[in-house]
Amino acid sequence: MKSDDELKRDHPELYKVAREGGTEAPFIGEYVNEHTDGMYHCAVCDAPLFSSTAKFDSKTGWPSFTDPENAAAVTLHDDDSHGMRRTEVRCAKCSAHLGHVFPDGPEKNGTTCDRYCINSVSLTLKES
């Protein structure tokens, strides 16, 4: 687990997102077009969050997933900032801000999946 001081000093971009709820610019994140098999872990506390099998190309410029690795990996919170009603996604273990979830993911077996829109900087991919 990285401390807030460590984040501020060594990972300012991650601090901005994880602790201040910031959003990285679209299309610049290192995992936007990543297709390697593996598990995406929390960049702050290393908890496993999203599997590469749930990743899809949303064309939004952020890594997007249909589901977390398991329902207990993340917590969801109402977010009314910026004049929008959105649902914030945080790491269940360290409460780092990860991104937001929207109900407009890809179709799978006749139902519309969620779209977990996650900042690359919040994630660390461990190849399987």
Which residues are annotated as catalytic? 117
45 binds Zn ion (CB under 5 A): yes
Residue 19 φ then ψ, to 5°: -105, -20
Distance CA 25, CA 61 (A): 8
Binding mask 46-65 for Zn ion (x = CB under 5 A): -x------------------
Q: Name the segment binding Zn ion (CB under 5 A); options: 8-16, 70-78, 94-102, 117-125.
A: 94-102
Structure-token pair, residue 10: 């060594």
Q: Name the segment binding Zn ion (CB under 5 A); options: 7-15, 55-63, 68-76, 90-98.
A: 90-98
91 binds Zn ion (CB under 5 A): yes
93 binds Zn ion (CB under 5 A): yes
Determine which residue in the list 21, 38, 94, 102 makes contact with Zn ion, applying CB under 5 A: 94
Question: How many residues contact Zn ion, by CB under 5 A?
Answer: 8
Q: For residue 91, what are the β-bridge partners?
A: 74
Query: Least distance to Zn ion from the beta carbon of 70, Å?
Result: 14
Binding site residues, Zn ion, CB under 5 A: 42, 44-45, 47, 91, 93-94, 96
